[in-house]
């Protein structure tokens, strides 16, 4: 294996645009690429533009009638069939929707293929992580589920164990649904509690079914959870399960919408805690998955202050060129931010909370604490099914 990382990038992914005023502003992708380039990280990785996912690949997860509905809406947005979740407030139809959605999916599939072949250790597609799309419907700003498609492609290539870890503020419901009964895939999602956030799923009692029972893991975090609780919950659940499962590939989703500035959710996580979990995922890949790591973006709607910095840290970690939290943001990029958005960009690559402090689960827990109650609920629901102590 080369040890080099691959960054999937095609400027055409910025055409994934639901229109003015929609939270999923594609400027977040352009600004992330700009910041990655400003730090020279594009020279520390292999930048690759994969081909769009073809119909046979899309059918690994999505129903044929749904793919045809997306194509029809793409050709004539005014005739979108809302029974497929298309043409709705969350997922407005737009010209070229199928083509750009398939392009984003193709980047994640291409990332998975490169890692599986051993061309690279790590591959990043920050335009991906569209984890809500269902086999037969669009949902939550997601048309095609590139994360599930990447995993399905790994299985098609012969992978027997793939672990998926999703730290987006929203439950990774579409990926969970795709592999609900498949024992080859372990899905772990840490998210805001479904009582207070879309998609109102991801309860700890959702554990998979049939041969896949115990293969779906959900940590439903109380609204308001901050750095110490979020990182504690991650380490109280994820490493032990990944160590037990011993995946051949680790696929992770790094939605930046856990951040305290995000306008669509209610966690209070800093950029520094997001970076800490990115580092932890990288370490897990090397410790338990032979270094094979596919890292995806996801949600994130504070498109200037948060998303570009968070995913630039992710690229740096994958490239072996970590950007130190105290690093000053390049002035040329801040000028690009102002030119594109008329906003002032952040000055440093930190929220001032590095290093992030948290208490390990092994040193004890408080059954009266809401965060610890959430972790306990997950451990009790899943760990015994996997032969682990709750």
What length does the chain have? 390
Cα atoms in the 13 Å half-sphere on the side-chain side of 150: 38
For residue 119, which phi and psi values (nearest 5 degrees)?
-65, -35
Supply the angle between the helices 271-288 and 307-319 in degrees, to the nearest 10.
30
Catalytic residue numbers read 132
How far apart are alpha carbons 351 and 270 in whole angstroms? 6
Instruction: Judge whether 267 and 190 are in contact, CB under 8 Å.
Output: no
How far apart are alpha carbons 71 and 77 in whole angstroms? 10
Distances, alpha carbon 178 to alpha carbons 101, 104, 166, 175, in Å: 18, 18, 14, 5
Instruction: Judge whether 313 and 351 are in contact, CB under 8 Å.
Output: no
How far apart are alpha carbons 93 and 369 in whole angstroms? 44
Alpha helix (H) residue ranges in 8-162: 27-38, 55-58, 64-75, 97-117, 146-156
Cα 279 from chain centroid (whole Å): 14
Helix-strand-coil split of the chain, %, nearest 5: 40, 15, 45
């Amino acid at each position: 294996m080369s040890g080099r990382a691959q960054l999937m990038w095609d400027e055409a992914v910025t055409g994934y645009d639901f229109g003015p005023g929609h939270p999923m502003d594609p400027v977040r992708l352009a600004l992330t690429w700009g910041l990655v380039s400003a730090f020279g990280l594009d020279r520390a990785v292999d930048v690759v533009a994969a081909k769009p996912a073809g119909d046979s690949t899309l059918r690994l997860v999505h129903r044929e009638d749904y793919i045809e509905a997306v194509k029809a809406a793409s050709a004539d947005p005014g005739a979108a069939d809302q029974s497929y979740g298309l043409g709705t407030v969350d997922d407005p139809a737009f010209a070229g929707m199928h083509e750009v959605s398939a392009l984003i999916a193709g980047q994640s599939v291409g990332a998975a293929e490169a890692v599986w072949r051993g061309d690279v250790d790590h591959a990043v597609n920050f335009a991906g992580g569209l984890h809500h799309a269902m086999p037969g419907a669009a949902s939550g700003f997601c048309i095609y589920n590139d994360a599930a498609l990447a995993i399905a492609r790994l299985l098609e290539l012969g992978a027997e164990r793939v672990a998926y870890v999703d730290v987006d503020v929203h439950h990774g419901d579409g990926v969970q649904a795709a592999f609900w009964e498949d024992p080859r895939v372990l899905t772990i999602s840490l998210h805001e509690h479904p009582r207070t956030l879309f998609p109102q799923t991801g309860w700890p009692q959702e554990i998979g079914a049939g041969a896949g029972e115990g293969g779906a893991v959900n940590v439903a975090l109380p609204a308001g959870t901050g750095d110490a609780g979020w990182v504690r919950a991650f380490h109280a659940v994820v490493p032990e399960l990944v160590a037990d499962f011993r995946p051949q590939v680790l696929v992770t989703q790094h939605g930046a919408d856990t951040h305290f500035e995000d306008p669509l959710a209610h966690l209070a996580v800093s950029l520094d805690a997001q970076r800490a979990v990115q580092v932890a995922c990288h370490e897990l890949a090397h410790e338990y998955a032979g270094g094979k790591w596919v890292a995806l973006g996801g949600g994130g709607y504070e498109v200037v202050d948060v998303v570009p910095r968070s995913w630039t840290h992710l690229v740096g970690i994958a490239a072996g060129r970590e950007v130190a939290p105290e690093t000053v943001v390049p002035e040329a990029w801040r000028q690009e931010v102002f030119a594109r958005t008329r906003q002032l960009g952040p000055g440093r690559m930190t929220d001032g909370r590095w290093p992030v402090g948290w208490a390990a689960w092994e040193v004890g827990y408080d059954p009266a604490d809401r965060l610890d109650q959430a972790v306990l609920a997950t451990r009790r629901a899943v760990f015994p099914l996997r032969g682990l102590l709750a």
